[in-house]
């Protein structure tokens, strides 16, 4: 192993840059080979050890080996202790996000890990706020994803339908990644600022000086947790999360969490959240289809043999869910399964094919399609969508329903596993949701066997979705604004 000299840090930086390029291009094997060569060629500094573990985690994530990815991220977190606080926070958020892919993480562990995140902010000096009622409230939304992104499809109605006599809306973007959708969103609101180049404290100062009354975090631990590192300074007197992340943030500075009576029935899961739950009577997610979906012609033709499919991210596909899907395909004569992801990473596709073959799939039973941005028309190629577990689809479930494809979903007690159940219940097909794997399989087989019901669903699901609370932007925004009034008065009168 090479001893360190003045050029070693430069050598390490170049190697990591090349590894990241491999990863961005989906060349996971090359990235792993380069990582192995790097760790054997030089003595690593503590901060470099964390960087290497993080790179290994991304490789294993791309390969579908989530358990090893989680282990590597935890090692990155441990290796980063005593170093820059921002790096520790970022790695911990990445770890918490990936933890949801594992089916055997207990409720107690999930809660403990999330609540532990607040320890990073023990020394943070929060802003102080003067209590006073106001004729007009300022609502701030903070996110790295005000662009063509699934979070935009679930939040745009809050920007388009708000009551302008009562509210002013400001958006704070935390990433330098704007597109045409960003420009459209800017035109909807009263104020817009990009905080990407600011430190968390400086970004919080901007929000505080704007006089934001209620700050809505639309990311949680996704987007490396940067929105939470800003919210930790309490730039607004009332802060709420619940869109863009699927669990408690664990942050004491976050006061509330938006949910609904399906994801968190009254009396259930309150103890798992550091925030106080605000339950909407209908869906806490409001879906707006993309232009790609709107422009897609809905012309469904039943297949001779049933075609199952899942367009969820490949990293959500566990071996257990693959085994369940195999049982479904084997029980429905002549059927097969189509899997498709959005990123066009051929190596991910090959690795998933290898995993599926180990589970027992034959070439006839499984079709893995290359990723593409224009994926909505391909929903017409499948008869029944199968949801992943324990990390279900949100946007993909809505996309399927919008294309009139029924979805079979599996849920447990945990908030983040119940998105499919909530969406289907609000649309009026909650009977397609199951709380155990055996029933999940049975419902998929039963629906495939009832061709009359299947055709009826394909003819009606889009209109059912459009008439439901899941796509009623005005009613949804009014329900959220009712929550705003309640939590604002709670603060003023406390």
Dihedral over alpha carbons 62, 63, 67, 69 (to 10 degrees)? -40
- Its CATH class, for the domain covering 137-286+473-493, is alpha beta
d(CA 2, CA 21): 24
d(CA 56, CA 45): 17
pLDDT for the residue numbered 6:
56
Show pLDDT as tens, one digit a residue, over the chain (494 residues): 555 555 677 888 888 999 998 888 878 889 999 998 888 887 888 778 899 999 999 999 888 789 999 999 999 998 887 667 788 899 999 999 999 999 899 999 999 999 999 999 999 999 999 988 889 999 999 999 999 999 999 999 999 999 999 999 999 999 998 999 999 999 999 999 999 999 999 999 999 999 999 999 999 999 899 999 999 999 999 999 999 999 999 999 999 999 999 999 999 999 999 999 999 999 999 999 998 889 888 888 899 999 999 999 988 999 999 999 999 999 999 999 999 986 666 778 888 999 999 999 999 999 999 888 889 999 999 999 999 999 999 999 999 999 999 999 999 999 999 999 999 999 999 999 999 999 999 999 999 999 999 999 999 999 999 999 999 999 999 999 999 999 999 999 98
Cβ within 8 Å of residue 224, ≥6 positions away: 90, 93, 94
d(CA 239, CA 274): 12
Number of Cα atoms under 13 Å in the Cβ half of residue 264: 23
Instruction: Tell me the Ramachandran region of residue 264: left when phi exceeds 0, alpha when psi lies from -120 to 50, beta otherwise.
Output: beta
d(CA 295, CA 239): 37
Cβ within 8 Å of residue 137, ≥6 positions away: 166, 167, 168, 213, 214, 484, 488
Question: Which CATH code is given to the segment(s) 8-121?
Answer: 1.25.40.10
d(CA 66, CA 397): 22
- From residue 54, give the alpha-carbon distance in Å to each of 48, 233, 492: 10, 27, 44
d(CA 106, CA 370): 34
pLDDT for the residue numbered 351:
85
Q: How many CB atoms lie within 10 A of CB 83?
A: 14
Q: Residues 27-44, buried b or exposed e (16+ Cβ, 10 A)?
A: bbebbbebbeebbeebeb
pLDDT for the residue numbered 110:
96
H helix or E strand, kind and range, residue 307? strand 307-310
CA angle 307, 309, 310 (to 5 degrees): 180
Dihedral over alpha carbons 70, 71, 76, 79 (to 10 degrees)? 150
Percent helix, percent strand, percent coil in the chain, to nearest 5: 50, 10, 35
d(CA 262, CA 479): 16
pLDDT for the residue numbered 2:
53
d(CA 97, CA 413): 18
Cβ within 8 Å of residue 195, ≥6 positions away: 142, 172, 173, 174, 203, 206, 230
Q: By the 8 A CB rule, do 153 and 395 touch?
A: yes
Using alpha carbons, select from 262, 235, 186 the residue that is nearest to residue 430.
262
What topology is assigned to 299-471 in CATH? Rossmann fold (3.40.50)
d(CA 287, CA 281): 16
Q: Which SS3 state, helix, strand or coil, does residue 299 take?
A: coil
d(CA 37, CA 52): 11
Find residue 168's DSSP bridge partners: 138
First to last CA, the chain: 62
Instruction: Tell me the Ramachandran region of residue 33: left when phi exceeds 0, alpha when psi lies from -120 to 50, beta otherwise.
Output: alpha
Using alpha carbons, select from 479, 376, 468 the residue that is nearest to residue 163.
479
| Residue spans of alpha helices (H) in 80-199 | 85-99, 107-116, 150-160, 180-186
Q: Mutual orientation of helices 395-402 and 419-427 as an angle, nearest 10°?
A: 30
Rounded to an integer, what is the distance from CA 296 to the centroid of its chain? 25
- From residue 403, give the alpha-carbon distance in Å to each of 148, 378, 381: 19, 9, 10
Could you give the residue range(s) of every CATH 3.40.50.11380 domain in the chain?
A: 137-286+473-493
């Amino acid at each position: 192993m090479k001893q360190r000299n003045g050029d070693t840090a430069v050598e390490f930086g170049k190697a990591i840059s090349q590894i990241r390029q491999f990863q961005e291009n989906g060349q996971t094997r090359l990235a792993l080979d380069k990582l192995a060569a790097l760790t054997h060629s030089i003595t690593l500094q503590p901060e470099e050890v964390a960087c290497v573990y993080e790179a290994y985690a991304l490789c294993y994530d791309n390969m579908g080996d989530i358990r090893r990815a989680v282990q590597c991220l935890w090692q990155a977190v441990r290796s980063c202790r005593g170093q820059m606080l921002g790096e520790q926070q970022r790695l911990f958020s990445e770890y918490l996000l990936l933890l949801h892919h594992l089916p055997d993480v207990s409720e107690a562990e999930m809660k403990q890990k999330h609540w532990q995140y607040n320890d990073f902010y023990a020394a943070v000096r929060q802003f102080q706020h003067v209590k006073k009622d106001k004729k007009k409230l300022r609502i701030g939304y903070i996110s790295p994803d005000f662009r063509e992104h699934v979070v935009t499809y679930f939040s745009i109605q809050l920007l388009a339908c708000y009551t302008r006599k009562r509210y002013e809306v400001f958006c704070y973007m935390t990433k330098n990644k704007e597109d045409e959708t960003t420009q459209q969103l800017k035109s909807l609101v009263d104020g817009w600022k990009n905080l990407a180049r600011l430190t968390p404290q400086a970004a919080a100062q901007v929000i505080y000086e704007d006089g934001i009354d209620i700050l809505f975090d639309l990311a949680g631990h996704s987007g490396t947790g940067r929105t939470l590192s800003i919210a930790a300074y309490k730039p607004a007197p009332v802060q709420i999360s619940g869109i863009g992340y699927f669990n408690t943030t664990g942050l004491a500075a976050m006061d509330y969490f938006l949910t609904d009576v399906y994801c968190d029935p009254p009396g259930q899961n309150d103890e798992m959240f550091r925030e106080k739950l605000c339950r909407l009577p209908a869906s806490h997610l409001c879906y707006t289809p993309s232009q790609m979906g709107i422009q897609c012609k809905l012309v469904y033709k039943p297949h001779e043999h049933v075609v199952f499919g899942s367009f969820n991210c490949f990293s959500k596909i566990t071996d257990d869910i693959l085994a369940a899907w195999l049982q479904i395909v084997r029980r429905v004569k002549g059927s097969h399964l189509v899997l498709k992801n959005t990123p066009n990473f051929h190596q991910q596709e090959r690795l998933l094919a290898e995993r599926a073959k180990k589970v027992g799939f034959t070439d006839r039973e499984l079709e893995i399609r290359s990723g593409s941005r224009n994926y909505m028309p391909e929903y017409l190629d499948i008869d029944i969508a199968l949801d992943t577990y324990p990390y279900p689809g949100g946007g993909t479930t809505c996309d399927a329903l919008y294309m009139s494809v029924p979805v079979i979903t599996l849920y447990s007690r945990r908030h983040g596993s119940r998105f499919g159940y909530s969406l289907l219940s609000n649309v009026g097909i909650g009977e397609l949701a199951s709380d155990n794997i055996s029933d999940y399989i049975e419902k998929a087989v039963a629906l495939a066997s009832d061709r009359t019901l299947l055709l009826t669903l394909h003819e009606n699901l889009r209109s059912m979705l459009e008439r439901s609370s899941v796509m009623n932007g005005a009613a949804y925004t009014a329900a959220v604004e009712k929550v705003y009034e309640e939590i604002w008065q709670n603060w003023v009168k406390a």
